[in-house]
A and B are shown apart, each in its own frame.
Chain A
Amino acid sequence: MRATDGKLLAVNSTGCLEVFSTPYPESSWQLPWLHSLFGNGPAVAAGVAAALRARGRDDIRVIGQAGDGGTVDIGFGTLSGMFERNDDVLFVCYDNEGYMNTGVQRSGATPPAATTANTKALGPEPGNAFGQGKNVPLIAMAHEIPYVATATVAELRDLEYKVERAMSFRGARYLHVFVPCPLGWGAASADTIKLARLVKETGMFPVFEAERGEVTEVSRIRRQVPVEDYLRPQRRYAHLFGDPGRPDSVARLQASADRNIARFGLLPEGTRDGEALRDHPRHRLQPCQQDRLVAHRARGLHEPDAAVQRRLPGRGEHPGLALRG
């Protein structure tokens, strides 16, 4: 609202955001707000933007919002269309890694090994399969739209900045916000912000900005922690730490976090990898954390994670993945 001087119009796809903000016949939205279907949010937003353009109202900005289901799965076709036409819309995805509102089903944003209502902790590969799902921020970058950014609810100032920054561009913009769901993930409500902080500090969710397909800024890790610290407080990963547990799966998740770290250059300046981190007083790992990090890596070494590598589209050769410094 502040970034647009109050001249804002919102289009919403179905999601829990609507459940708590617009229980019929009430609405907590104090701005023009439009809901159509689960899957067509980006198309409706693009239409609204076109209508405003036709009326010559370039002072009113349009924002589209959806959860990861409405963005990554059901709304993906219309989202890609909005991107390729470069419609003047900021689309925000609130990513809680599944269909939490309808009973915790898996989405294309559900991470490997996580249990949901339809990826139970059963069989040889319990939880969500490795090697599936998609990374929409990278796909958005591949459309070479003016602005793509990721953020978490743990860094509200950063989120604020990125909305303001997005509003300084015209054309299609995409903001992917990581939002833990205490209910769907089986985590304590009070840990919501902590989990959002840890997902970034493990490297599992890279926080960055990109313009026209090029990464322009990354939020570096401040105090690196092993993925285990992020996984353990969540019941959806409980099977990884039971008896006997699945240290191999934890190692694969650590390997994918390490890949993100290398790919986006997430380590603090002046350090090159976790080994160097150990000697860096500002980012010193607790001895137990070091041991676990090393242990996870050792396990990962014997088992190159081809599946995880397949999961991430783009690879290093894509121009969009050229890294800064």
Chain B
Amino acid sequence: MEDNPFPAIMGRVCYHPCETACNRGQLDEAVGINSVERFVGDEAIRQGWTVSVDVPPTGRHVLVVGAGPSGLSAAYHLARRGHTVTIREAGPMAGGMMRFGIPRYRLSRDVLDAEVRRILDLGVTLELDAKVTDLMALKDEYDAVFLAVGAQLGRRTYIPAGSAAHVLDAVDMLRDLETGEKPLLGRKVAVYGGGNTAMDAARTAKRLGASEAVVVYRRTQDRAPAHESELAEAEDEGVLFKWLTTIKQVDAGKLVVERMELDDSGFPQPTGELDELDADSLVLALGQETDLSLLDGVPGLVVDDGVVAVGPDLMTGCPGIFAGGDMVPYERSVTVAIGHGKRAARHIDAWLSGAAPEPVARPAPATFDTLNTWYYADAPRSHRAVLDRARRESTFDEVVLGHDESTALLEARRCMSCGNCFGCDNCYGVCPDNAVIKLGRPGESYLIDLDYCKGCGLCVAECPSGAIQMFPEEI
């Protein structure tokens, strides 16, 4: 909770790049970090764990625009640093894309509500249905502003459509569903696009009763931006795919599509081969853009290619206005957005106090070759169970289930603690010269007695986690 206010949410929707980097992947299979995070997050909700503000109030007031993952994360970290925070949200509920973009079957709304509640309990003020239209008018009331309005305008493309054609936008469809409106899609639904939103739209269409959901994408599967796991889950649920295909025209009940082929640079080129595809409706999932109208007249603020330019400290060209999440030029994911919230809070805090931001200590990555994996027991990874297919096709129940306590503990114990001493006493045992002294203090377990150490390097070679380093003495 020092870093991330949303463990239960991240344990569900994060694409866990940490598991790709996990050293255990080179031994058997990466530790299920995401599943353990989810277990801990769920346990925190179940047992009602709370966080506290441990510093006196600073008297500074920060405005956060947008109650999505980035804004909420910034509010959390700012509040914990003693600042007064007000969030203004244009929509009727907090959560942003976590609520209006990610369907329930990937993120239970109870979990979302609980983790948002924990942030508001820190004393953060949340104003709903309070869209900011003129930022400059508000700016003087606050000491700093963090913009995190996201990107929720569905990108359009021109497709000739007949008068009876039924075309709608994926972002609108997912949002309407969340506010209680059931979109009319018909029996056969086509989704245009190859990203995660396209997968969400197609899987949602199946759940709403469509007998057939087809994803139409102009490139190949390996070039689709959708995450591998989401593609696989969509495929499991019977979503169909038409790769290398564009839509030329939309009519009532059918689409005219064109076959594409990739040129040498990997760009799809039309072939002229046309085909027809039965579809009662077409859902566009071609990417999202940010509504930047509130930024009109903000001096110094630069918008480039539809997103707001920021420095490494996430400050815009206008002093005191910071921005993060989907509206700045980084990878668009909940994970990145939450990280931006924390980073912005750190820099806003520094900016308000006039001090340099506290440095972030990042130790060098502990690489696989520094480990001695002999000492780790063979332990295959525990994978999370998934809901039965029949229930996945007809309900919005969560698809991926959580671990129980013993499985989560077992999975957590697979961690090899790379680069960090876990007090196994191996160095103490193997040292031929009794030069390792056991201190037994937390965080400071051992000391090398350099009067006796002859520098054989045995402790370094036999340290399971690569936590001991030996450097040549300067002579």
Interface residues of A (CB under 8 A from B): 153, 156, 182, 188-194, 197, 282
Contact = CB atoms under 8 A, between A and B. Distances in A.
Given A190-B458, A191-B461, A197 B429 contact: no
A242 to B, nearest CB: 26
B338 interface: no
Which 9 residue pairs spanning A and B have beta carbons closest together? A189-B456, A190-B457, A190-B461, A156-B429, A193-B462, A282-B378, A190-B458, A193-B430, A192-B458
Given A197-B374, A282-B378, A156 B430 contact: yes
A191 B460 CA distance: 10
Given A156-B429, A156-B430, A193 B378 contact: no
A194 B461 contact: yes
Contact of B461 (A153, A156, A193, A282): A193
A268 to B, nearest CB: 10
> For chain B, which range describes its interface: under 10, 10 to 19, 20 to 34, or 35 or more residues?
10 to 19
Given A190-B457, A194-B462, A197-B374, 14 more contacts: A153-B430, A156-B429, A156-B430, A182-B456, A189-B457, A190-B456, A190-B460, A191-B461, A192-B432, A192-B456, A192-B458, A193-B430, A193-B458, A193-B461
Interface string B441-456: 0000000000000001
Main secondary structure of the interface of B (DSSP, over half): helix
B428 to A, nearest CB: 10
A308 B92 CA distance: 84
Interface string B235-273: 000000000000000000000000000000000000000
B27 to A, nearest CB: 11
Interface in B349-397: 374, 378
A91 to B, nearest CB: 22
Main secondary structure of the interface of A (DSSP, over half): helix
A182 B430 CA distance: 14
Contacts of B458: 189-190, 192-193
Contacts of A156: 429-430
13 contacts: A156-B429, A156-B430, A182-B456, A189-B457, A190-B458, A192-B432, A192-B458, A193-B430, A193-B458, A193-B461, A193-B462, A194-B462, A197-B374
A191 B462 CA distance: 9
A153 B432 CA distance: 10
Nearest to A283: B378
Nearest to A153: B430
Interface of B: 374, 378, 429-430, 432, 456-458, 460-462
Contacts of A282: 378
B378 to A, nearest CB: 5
A156 B430 CA distance: 8
Contacts of B430: 153, 156, 193
A153 B457 CA distance: 16
B453 to A, nearest CB: 12
B279 to A, nearest CB: 46
A197 B458 CA distance: 13
Contacts of B374: 197
Nearest to A193: B462
Contacts of B432: 192
A190 B430 CA distance: 10
A245 to B, nearest CB: 27
A194 B460 CA distance: 12
Contacts of A193: 430, 458, 461-462
Most buried by B among A189, A191, A192, A193: A193
A294 to B, nearest CB: 24
Nearest to A192: B458
Contacts of A194: 461-462
A243 to B, nearest CB: 29
Nearest to B430: A193
Contacts of B457: 188-190
A191 B461 CA distance: 7
Nearest to A156: B429
Contacts of B456: 182, 189-190, 192
B449 to A, nearest CB: 15
A102 B75 CA distance: 73
Nearest to B459: A190
A309 B448 CA distance: 47
A107 to B, nearest CB: 21
Contacts of A153: 430
Contacts of A182: 456
Contacts of B460: 190
A93 to B, nearest CB: 18
A129 B462 CA distance: 33
Nearest to A28: B434
Nearest to B455: A189
A193 B458 CA distance: 7
Contacts of B462: 193-194
B463 to A, nearest CB: 11
Nearest to B28: A281
B64 to A, nearest CB: 50
A153 B462 CA distance: 12
A182 B432 CA distance: 12
A192 B461 CA distance: 9
A153 B431 CA distance: 11
Contacts of B461: 190-191, 193-194
A180 to B, nearest CB: 11
A193 B374 CA distance: 11
A21 B295 CA distance: 79
A105 B461 CA distance: 29
Contacts of B429: 156
Contacts of A188: 457
A153 B378 CA distance: 21
A189 B378 CA distance: 28
A97 to B, nearest CB: 17
Contacts of A197: 374
A192 B430 CA distance: 9
B139 to A, nearest CB: 61
A156 B456 CA distance: 19
Nearest to B461: A190
Contacts of A189: 456-458
A194 B462 CA distance: 8
A39 B341 CA distance: 75
A215 B378 CA distance: 27
Nearest to A189: B456
A277 to B, nearest CB: 14
A68 B461 CA distance: 26
A191 B457 CA distance: 9
